[in-house]
Chain A
Amino acid sequence: MNRNRNKLKMKDIATIGIFSALLFVVTVLPGSVMALSLTLQMYSVAIIAIISAPLYMLIMAKVHRTGAVISACAIVGILWGLLGGVFILIWMVALGIVGEILASKTTYQNYKMLTVSFGLYNIAYYLRAIAPLYYYPSYIYGLGYPDETSQAFIEAAHTTAAYATIPVTLIAIILGAVIAKRLLKKHFEKAGVL
């Protein structure tokens, strides 16, 4: 009985579907624009984290049932997969499962735990978009750039400005979650949506 009550209803599925589509669009658009420059690209995950936090937190505020986190992550991952980004799908599902376990332990009510799951969602994107520069540098060499350019990319990824993207991204995740909480309280709770 309790298990049935905790299952996703059609209303929850529609909410997850629509907001996951928005999360995907919010990731693709700034990601593509910022890919024009390597330094900008390294900070893209931080920007995406701030913009996508209200969308992610609204899903969690409206759907606090088993499968909310993993479904949202899986949908964004599958949409990426349909565009050929199969590795994002793999990371999204893997970290989505971890996020789901953490969020479900507090029945999707604890904001700190939801922030952690949101952090994992962003890290999944970071692991495909930026992290290959660190854990798979031969990929950069294989891209076909002249050797000096590839070397310059690797070196650029090991500068202070590049290392700074890691704490900046973490701060952006927390900042995004705080902004999302305020926005939801200011607009959605007042309007009776939540």
Chain B
Amino acid sequence: MYRIDPRIIIIQIVISGLCAFWIFTPLGMLCEILFLMGFLFYLRLPKEALWLGFWFGLITGLYMLMSALSAPQVIERPIFLLRKMSPLVGVMMLSLKGMSVSELIAGLQKLHFPKSVTLALAVALRFIPTISQELTQIKSAMKTRGISLNLITLIKAPVVTTEYMLIPFMMRCTKVADELAAAAVTRAIENPAPRGMRIPMRIRIKDIVYLMLVICTNLGTLLYSHMG
């Protein structure tokens, strides 16, 4: 059985993502980070929770140091933006580590998302980690033809370098799409019957309590950030 139903985590990602946009005060951000760490601990992700805390501490410390030293905007602004985005790092950890791709897809299907969107999302999420590998292969292939694709060539001849990189990559992607589609069709992905689940999804009392906690903590942080 799931620790928490994937549908609840999807709702949490939306709520936390929306709230993170409106949380401005440093103390509000700290509250949001602490709550996110709590949820990550509950989802048995202690490494991610501690990393989030460490990240926020490091960025906040750096920002305070830069402010004290009156550092120029070019240095201070990125650190400020990283601090502002810290709650979003927590949301990102929830979405990437809080559930597997299969759980995300199953959750979206249970939430009645269109099949085409959920399948395309599954393809996209599984493809993103392979992008760097594909690019490395293209770079090696170009090197054997006497064209080195690196930062220097990109600066010297940006248009040609982009074309040399982009076209083989796009060509490779169309091939991957065709192969993936063929593999999926042979596994009856186009069967109109609803997709089965090895572990049945059910909303339990603890899921509802978890959702209530998510809503209360986010609303509380928002209210504190604006009125406190």
Contact = CB atoms under 8 A, between A and B. Distances in A.
Contacts, number: 144
Interface size classification for chain B: 35 or more
A31 B119 CA distance: 27
Interface stretch (B47-55, B164-172, B200-208, B211-219): B164-172
Given A82-B95, A83-B91, A183-B167, A13 B120 contact: yes
B119 A187 contact: no
A142 B119 contact: no
Given A13-B181, A18-B173, A62-B174, A75 B124 contact: yes
Interface stretch (A35-43, A100-108, A113-121): A35-43
Given A10-B189, A37-B74, A17 B119 contact: yes
A11 B181 contact: yes
Nearest to A36: B78
B78 A14 contact: no
A8 interface: yes
Given A25-B131, A84-B17, A144-B26, A36 B124 contact: no
Interface stretch (B37-45, B79-87, B142-150): B79-87
Interface in A51-83: 51, 54-55, 58, 62, 67, 71, 74-75, 78-79, 81-83
A17 B120 contact: yes
Given A10-B119, A10-B189, A17-B119, A84 B91 contact: yes
Interface in B137-163: 162-163
A16 interface: yes
Contact of B124 (A24, A35, A37, A62): A24
Contacts of A187: 167, 171
A35 B14 contact: no
A19 B166 CA distance: 12
Interface residues of A, number: 48
Given A22-B173, A37-B77, A17 B123 contact: yes
Interface string B109-123: 000001011011111
B88 interface: yes
B121 A75 contact: yes
Nearest to A141: B24
B120 A35 contact: no
Contact of B174 (A145, A183, A193): A193
Contacts of B167: 183, 187
A10 B184 contact: yes
The A contact surface, by secondary structure, is helix
A78 to B, nearest CB: 6
B106 to A, nearest CB: 15
Interface in B11-52: 13-14, 16-18, 20-22, 24-26
A62 B177 CA distance: 11
Contacts of B125: 21, 79
B127 A144 contact: no
Contacts of B117: 71, 74-75, 78
B71 interface: no
Given A67-B114, A85-B17, A145-B80, 18 more contacts: A8-B116, A10-B119, A14-B120, A16-B116, A16-B120, A16-B123, A17-B119, A17-B122, A18-B127, A20-B124, A25-B128, A38-B77, A79-B125, A81-B14, A82-B95, A86-B21, A144-B80, A149-B73
